[in-house]
Amino acid sequence: MTQLNTTSHLILTGDRPTGPLHLGHYVGSLRQRVALQHQHPQYILIADLQGLTDNGSQPEKVVNNILEVMADYLAVGIRPDLSTICLQSALPALAELTMLYMNIVTVSRVERNPTVKNEILQKGFSRSLPTGFLVYPISQAADITAFGADRVPVGDDQLPMIEQTNEIVHKMNALTGEQTLRRCEAVLSPMGRLPGVDGNAKMSKSLGNALSLSASEVEIHRAVSDMFTDPGHLRISDPGKIEGNVVFTWLDAFHPDTDKVREMKAHYQRGGLGDRVCKNTLEECLQTLLAPIRERRRALINDKETLLGILKQGSEQAHELTQKTLAIVKKGLGLPVMF
């Protein structure tokens, strides 16, 4: 966890393309990337290989979403001239580094990774755990180090991944020379995780509590109408709670006028402010935010050739960079670099 305040940093971030992105991604990460791209070199990896680690038997769930995620990126304001968007499966160095790192990480070490442990439980794997899923922290370490990223924006649930990456950096550097791989630090989002419409701490498409970046006016209206507030706030005149009240959490996340939100909170807490008024304010703010994103997204997704062109160009740049790291690692290990 650190501040980004020098100019020499390199940022790697990305997403598993298992569905179009939603407002949770926007608040937790996309918005930050749009800002960061003006300050530091930033690579954005569409992690299709990682998406396949728990979708090995339904690859269409991943491959059909690659360009959807591309469209999301560009629609929210990620600029290909400032950020390099690239595709994981197009970068052989990432697979090759994973193979090399797998030899210095024990099975018991990856099994001990808290993030992996939790996800195994959540996804209901037990004996049917794919090997690819077990080793994905190693693959993620390959991604981060291949780009030479020293700043990795993540959620706090991903901190064990950064720890494991730095362990690999330490071991590989001991084998190949201290300057081979760069240590990395997590950059935590200033805003916590955005709760789902229903109040669940995790927003996800599969839980049905997400609002996608391409949501229509009607969908936005319906989501806000259905939004979980304070179940004890029965009459407008009653004092209401703002803790766990999704409308206020979302107002904090999206409303540009923080003074106004502070006033509304105070009013709601002392009683006299109805849920409907608060929801209208939130809806107006979301409609304003999402209308241009939806419009841009619609145009973008209809021009797949351009999206693929941008992805190809970014992947070529990323290929050049990651091949350099691979060559340094191979040379460090004494492996011939033949072509």
For a copy of itself, the binding residues (CB under 8 A) are 48-49, 52-57, 59-60, 63-64, 66, 87, 89-90, 92-93, 95-96, 98-100, 102-108, 110, 127-135, 138-139, 171, 175, 308, 311-312, 315-316, 319, 330, 333-336, 338-339
Q: At what angle do helices 66-76 and 275-301 cross, to 10 degrees?
A: 120
Distance CA 49, CA 255 (A): 36
Least distance (Å) from a copy of itself to the CB of residue 308?
7
CB closer to a copy of itself out of 26 and 101: 101
Q: How far is the CB of 46 from a copy of itself (least distance, A)?
A: 10
CB of residue 140 to a copy of itself, shortest distance in Å: 12
Question: Are 4 and 185 within 8 A, CB to CB?
Answer: no
Q: For residues 60 and 81, which CB has a smaller minimum distance to a copy of itself in the complex? A: 60
User: Could you tell me the smallest distance in angstroms from the CB atom of residue 33 to a copy of itself?
Assistant: 22
Q: Which of 116, 105, 112 is nearest to 165 (CA)?
A: 105
Which residue type, as a one-letter code, is found at position 336? P
Q: In this complex, which beta carbon is closest to a copy of itself, that of residue 284 or of residue 316?
A: 316
Nearer to a copy of itself, 140 or 229 (CB): 140
- Write down the least CB distance from residue 16 to a copy of itself, Å: 13
Q: How far apart are CA 180 and CA 169, in angstroms?
A: 8
Residue 29 CB, nearest distance to a copy of itself (Å)? 23
Cα dist. 38→14, 45, 133, 197, 313 in Å? 17, 18, 34, 32, 20
Q: Which is nearer to a copy of itself, 291 or 333 (CB)?
A: 333
Q: φ and ψ at 264, to 5 degrees?
A: -60, -40
CB of 125 to a copy of itself, least distance (A): 9
Burial class (CB in 10 A: 0-12, 13-18, 19+), 82: middle
* 8 Å CB contact between 219 and 286: no
- Cβ closer to a copy of itself: 90 or 159? 90
Of residues 38 and 312, the one with the C-beta less far from a copy of itself: 312
Could you tell me whether strands 83-87 and 42-46 are parallel, antiparallel, or unpaired per DSSP bridges? parallel
Q: How far apart are CA 249 and CA 229, in angstroms?
A: 10
CB of 243 to a copy of itself, least distance (A): 41
CB 192 within 8 A of CB 198: no
Nearest to a copy of itself of 18, 249 (CB atom): 18
DSSP secondary structure string, 155-203? -GGGHHHHHHHHHHHHHHHHHH-TTSS---EEEE-SS-PPPPTTS-SS-
